């Protein structure tokens, strides 16, 4: 049992970036599930123009949350079971999700002049995601 936990810890350390993406993508998806349609609440954000709502309205929908949770679980499985296929599929799944979130909040932040740093963090996550994907995993299945 101790050896299994030690190997599990070694895999988490070896694939720290994948593990972090998986964990925080899963947490982000669960957060969206807990706060569905929060961007439509006038207490959170003033009513946006129609074109703006069309560009970021998906960011608080159940289907995006489902994809985030699924991608996070797949990445965590890839790390915990040391399966490169799952890690690669997870990265491929979250790249367009993070890219679309970055675009949505850039539209919100730059073009509508609402103070929100979500676009910055989404762009940073996207850049780090591409860096992780370019370096790739170094263990074989």
pLDDT in tens, 79-127: 999 999 999 999 999 989 988 888 887 777 776 666 666 767 777 787 8
Q: Which residue has the tokens 């006038």?
A: 42
pLDDT in tens, 9-66: 888 888 888 999 999 999 999 999 998 887 777 776 666 666 666 777 788 889 999 9
What percentage of the chain carries pLDDT values higher than 90? 33
């Amino acid at each position: 049992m101790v050896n299994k936990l030690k190997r599990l810890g070694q895999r988490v350390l070896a694939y720290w970036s994948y593990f972090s993406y998986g964990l925080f993508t899963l947490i982000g998806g669960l957060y969206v599930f807990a706060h569905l349609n929060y961007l439509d609440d006038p207490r959170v954000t003033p009513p946006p123009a129609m074109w703006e709502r069309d560009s970021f309205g998906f960011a608080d929908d159940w289907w995006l949350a489902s994809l985030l949770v699924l991608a996070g679980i797949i990445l965590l499985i890839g790390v915990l079971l040391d399966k490169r296929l799952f890690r690669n599929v997870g990265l491929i799944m979250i790249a367009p999700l993070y890219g679309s979130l970055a675009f949505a909040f850039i539209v919100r932040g730059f073009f509508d002049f609402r103070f929100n740093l979500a676009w910055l963090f989404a762009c940073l996550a996207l850049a780090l995601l591409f860096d992780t994907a370019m370096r790739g995993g170094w263990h074989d299945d």
